Amino acid sequence: HANVALAISGIAGPGGATVDKPVGTVCFGFVIQDGKTWSERCHFDGDREAVRRQSVLYALQGVLRHLDG
């Protein structure tokens, strides 16, 4: 009975990177109750903690952006 679903996956580092997916690459998947779905891919700079913090902020802003819009 959720109104919003969100998935995050990525390479926060320090390992796990490839040429096509460097450290800081993060993918987001969103679904809102009306059935609208979308995904986004971003790159964030910094160490593991910085990438994780930026990812959380981006994800929450993405949900709010589409709920308000």
Identify the structural domains of the chain with CATH numbers, from first to last. Answer: 4-68 (3.90.950.20)
DSSP assignment letter at 57: H
Residue 42: other Cβ atoms inside 10 A: 16
Q: What is the pLDDT of residue 8?
A: 97
Q: What is the pLDDT of residue 66?
A: 82
Residues 1 and 46: beta-carbon distance below 8 Å: no
Q: What is the pLDDT of residue 43?
A: 98
pTM of the entire predicted model: 0.89
Rg, C-alpha atoms of the chain: 13
Residues 62 and 28: beta-carbon distance below 8 Å: yes
Rounded Cα distance, 50 and 24, in Å: 9
Average pLDDT per consecutive 10 residues, the chain (69 residues; last block may be shorter): 92 94 97 90 97 97 84
